[in-house]
């Protein structure tokens, strides 16, 4: 089928010239060699010729915005592949009690999720009109067919198992960790980073929900190409990777009472009143305190006990 864009000639001569120039290698005046021919070390190592050939050529695009659609989804698959790969590293670190390495990997997972979410902001500029044209060429394709998504779920499941086995090795229940965070500082820090990862995952799904709402619509009568109504995407946005880390908050809130609290507006009688108790004499691990990145305020790891 002839594409829409190939039927339409450029009205601007400058646009036509630029489009033609972008289809050929470009001379790099600093290197004195062309880039884009696939001959330079950078291109060979990253296989840029192969990578850049995975999108439709400009003359084959059904609408110009199809380039945006393809690049975004291919990029998402690569980031999801990375997240799944990092899960292997994370499991290894936790299973061997290398909590420093586990923290670093978890921080990376958080940033990967953030990047996935932000990328969807770009494709949200896609109009419903353009998407409905692209949609005709997708067959039954949908996010439920994403290999990266299911690899991420598998990786997260294994990481969740590793986390709970870590707690068992330390003879600590999740409730203990959250009710006495100063006693289990390293475990509490690890759990909170897991929660950050999970929160990022859910924000990414929420961004995807918003994207579908903008381009296709959310309703029981509107079905994705796999046959599921788009309204089914809503509950998925709040389905966590690590449910126990969210449930512990519910458990703690259920048993909370007002007893012992001051009258509204009154100041505590002593500086320590109203605070969670500390346990300075109890150390569950040689990693006892978290450092903070001075620029971002993000806890980055632990200081060794002196």
Q: Looking at residue 145, what is its pLDDT? A: 86
The pLDDT > 90 percentage for the chain reads 64
Confidence of residue 278 (pLDDT cuts 50, 70, 90): low
For 288, phi and psi rounded to 5 degrees? Answer: -120, -10
pLDDT, residue 153, reads 97
129 and 40 in a common domain: no
Instruction: Flag the least confident range among 2-11, 34-43, 155-164.
Output: 2-11
100 inside domain: yes
Alpha helices in the chain (DSSP H): 4-7, 13-21, 41-46, 48-52, 66-95, 99-123, 128-135, 147-169, 174-179, 185-215, 233-236, 243-254
| Residue 275, pLDDT score | 61
Q: What is the mean pLDDT of the chain?
A: 86
Alpha-carbon gap, residue 242 to 239, rounded angstroms: 9
Question: Between 66-95 and 99-123, two packed helices, what is the crossing angle to 10 degrees?
Answer: 170
Mean pLDDT of 183-196: 97
Tell whether 102 is covered by a domain: yes
Residue 291 predicted with pLDDT over 80? no
36 and 75 together in one domain:
no
Residue 283 pLDDT > 60: no
Instruction: With respect to residue 116, please indicate whether it lies within any of the assigned structural domains.
Output: yes
Domain check: are 48 and 116 in the same one? no
| Domain tally, the chain | 2
Q: Residue 45 belongs to what domain range?
A: 26-55
Query: How many other β-carbons are positioned within 10 Å of the β-carbon of residue 58?
Result: 16
Asked if residue 1 belongs to a domain, the reply is: no
My answer on whether 130 and 242 are in the same domain is: yes
The pair of structure tokens assigned to 5 is: 């864009």
Tell whether 183 and 205 lie within a shared domain: yes
Q: How many CB atoms lie within 10 A of CB 295?
A: 6
Residue ending a domain, among 252, 270, 289, is 252
Burial group, residue 100, by CB count within 10 angstroms (0-12, 13-18, 19+): middle
Residues 150 and 214 in one domain: yes
> Which of the four pLDDT bands, split at 50, 70 and 90, describes residue 203?
very high
CA angle 160, 291, 157 (to 5 degrees): 5
Whether 216 is in a domain gets the answer: yes
Query: Is residue 300 one of the residues assigned to a domain?
Result: no
Does residue 83 sit in the same domain as residue 230?
yes
At residue 277, the pLDDT reads: 57
Categorize the per-residue pLDDT at 302 as very low, low, confident or very high, splitting at 50, 70 and 90: very low
Range in 6-20, 45-59, 123-137, 203-217 with the lowest mean pLDDT: 6-20
Q: Which two tokens stand for residue 25?
A: 């290698």
Residues 77 and 50 in one domain: no
Q: Which of 301, 296, 283 has the alpha carbon at shortest distance from 189? A: 301
pLDDT at 272: 61
Q: CA quadruple 224, 230, 232, 237: dihedral positive or negative?
A: positive
> For residue range 69-115, what is the model confidence (pLDDT) as tens digits?
999 999 999 999 999 999 999 999 999 999 999 999 999 999 999 99
Closest CA to 146 of 196, 72, 93: 72
pLDDT in tens, 248-276: 999 999 999 888 888 888 877 765 655 65
Look at residue 273 and tell me if it is in a domain: no
Q: Residue 238's domain is classified under what CATH number?
A: 1.20.58.480
Residue 157 reports pLDDT greater than 70: yes
Query: Is 259 within the bounds of a domain?
Result: no
């Amino acid at each position: 089928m002839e594409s829409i864009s190939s039927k339409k000639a450029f009205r601007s001569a400058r646009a036509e010239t630029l489009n033609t120039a972008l289809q050929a290698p470009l001379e790099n005046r600093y290197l004195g060699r062309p880039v884009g021919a696939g001959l330079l070390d950078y291109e060979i190592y990253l296989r840029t010729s192969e990578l850049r050939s995975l999108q439709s050529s400009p003359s084959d695009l059904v609408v110009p915005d199809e380039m945006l659609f393809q690049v975004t989804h291919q990029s998402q698959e690569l980031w999801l592949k990375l997240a799944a790969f990092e899960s292997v590293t994370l499991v290894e670190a936790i299973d061997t009690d290398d909590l420093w390495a586990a923290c670093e990997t978890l921080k990376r997972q958080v940033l990967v999720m953030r990047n996935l979410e932000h990328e969807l902001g770009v494709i949200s500029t896609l109009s419903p009109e353009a998407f409905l044209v692209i949609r005709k060429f997708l067959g039954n394709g949908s996010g439920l067919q994403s290999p990266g998504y299911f690899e991420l779920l598998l990786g997260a499941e294994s990481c969740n198992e590793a986390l709970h086995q870590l707690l068992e090795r330390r003879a600590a229940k999740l409730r203990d960790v959250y009710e006495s965070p100063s006693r289990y500082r390293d475990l509490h820090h690890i759990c909170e980073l897991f929660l950050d990862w999970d929160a990022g995952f859910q924000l990414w799904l929420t961004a995807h929900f918003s994207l579908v709402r903008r381009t296709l619509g959310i309703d029981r009568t509107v079905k994705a190409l796999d046959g599921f109504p788009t309204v089914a995407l809503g509950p998925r946005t709040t389905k966590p990777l690590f449910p126990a880390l969210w449930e512990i908050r519910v458990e703690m809130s259920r048993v909370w009472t007002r007893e012992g609290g001051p009258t509204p507006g009154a100041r505590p009688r002593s500086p320590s009143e109203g605070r969670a108790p500390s346990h300075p004499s109890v150390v569950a691990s040689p990693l006892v305190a978290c450092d903070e990145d001075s620029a971002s305020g993000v806890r980055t790891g632990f200081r060794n006990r002196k």
